[in-house]
Amino acid sequence: MFDASDPRSKLRSSGSARPVTDIVAAQYCPFRKHEPEASALARTWHARGQYFLVAYSEVETGARFERSADAQPDEHILYLPDRDVDVSVRLGDEVHEISGRSLAILPPGASEIAVRGSGRLIRFFTTLATDLEARCINRAAYAEAQPNHAEYRAWPAPPDGFRLRVYPLDGPMGGIGFARLYRSTNLMVMDCKPVEGPRDWTRSTAHQHDDFEQGCLVLEGEYSYHLRYPWVPDMRKWIEDTHDHATGSTLVVIPPSVLHTNGPELHGTNHVVDIYSPPRLDFSEQPGWVVNEKEYRLPSVG
């Protein structure tokens, strides 16, 4: 239900459209309402979806984050939304300096991130990072696999091999117009343009994803989420329409097959980042939509 002026109105169906026989509720994870993993220099919260995981940290100079080779079998993404947080990333014998307002894709294997400055440091993983999965505040919701998801498959390795890849967050918007899209072999991050003021609700964009979920990490402001759940055969599992709000530092996970729309509500700055795992094929097939589209290959389809 996209307006004809919205680039997404041209997308083909991105799912299987198979019958929905079971359904679960969306997840709302307001990080600051939970106790963080805290040290003198960092406070970190973890939450997850079916295949992706978010580690949200508030950091000071000197904070460090290490991943061992055994713990990190695939790529993960470092997102630095604040100008005042720079990092050094050690990969083997090499040290790379990354400034704030950047997104970096780290290769599989051991790494160490050292922080300079105060602000937020956010990392996106798949749930193959099992040590972090155990720390998620909503892990009970995924004690069993949730319904309606396509099978997880990582995309092909990049033609030039796995390496550190760094992108400025203030570069040009892609063809989608309202966000910058980045993808790795296993994740897609959609950094939506910050919005000043509430949404025009006469132009909502209610839609659903047949076989993948959408993670929404609210960074600033407040967003309302309007969800309509399908009627499954077992009426005891029906879920009423919901109309909820999420403020800054909250992860919202919208399940597959749920009709949804969302938008900013505050008169100040509102900013949200969406997360998908694996990357969205429908977005990736659109030339110019993904910032780093030339660095990663599409999966074979058919």
pLDDT by position in tens, the chain (length 302) = 556 667 876 676 555 567 899 999 999 999 999 999 999 999 999 999 999 999 999 999 999 999 999 999 999 999 999 999 999 999 999 999 999 999 999 999 999 999 999 999 999 999 999 999 999 999 999 999 999 999 999 999 999 999 999 999 998 888 899 999 999 999 999 999 999 999 999 989 999 999 999 999 999 999 999 999 999 999 999 999 999 999 999 999 999 999 999 999 999 999 999 999 999 999 999 999 999 999 999 998 65
Q: What pTM did the predictor assign?
A: 0.94
Q: Domain of 149: which CATH number?
A: 2.60.120.10
Does residue 1 sit within a domain? no
Question: Of 52, 28, 2, 79, which is closest to residue 243 (Cα–Cα)?
Answer: 28
Q: By 3-state DSSP, what share of the chain in percent is helix, strand and coil, each rounded to 5?
A: 10, 40, 50
CA distance 268 to 198: 8
Does residue 300 sit within a domain? no
Structural domain boundaries, residue 48: 7-295
Total structural domains in the chain? 1
Does residue 106 sit within a domain? yes
C-alpha distances in Å from residue 27, one per residue of 46, 49, 233: 13, 8, 22
- Pure H helices in 208-298: 281-284
Look at residue 219 and give its three-state secondary structure: strand
Which pLDDT does position 2 carry in this prediction?
53
Does residue 302 sit within a domain? no
Does residue 121 sit within a domain? yes
Residue 73 near residue 128, CB atoms below 8 Å:
yes
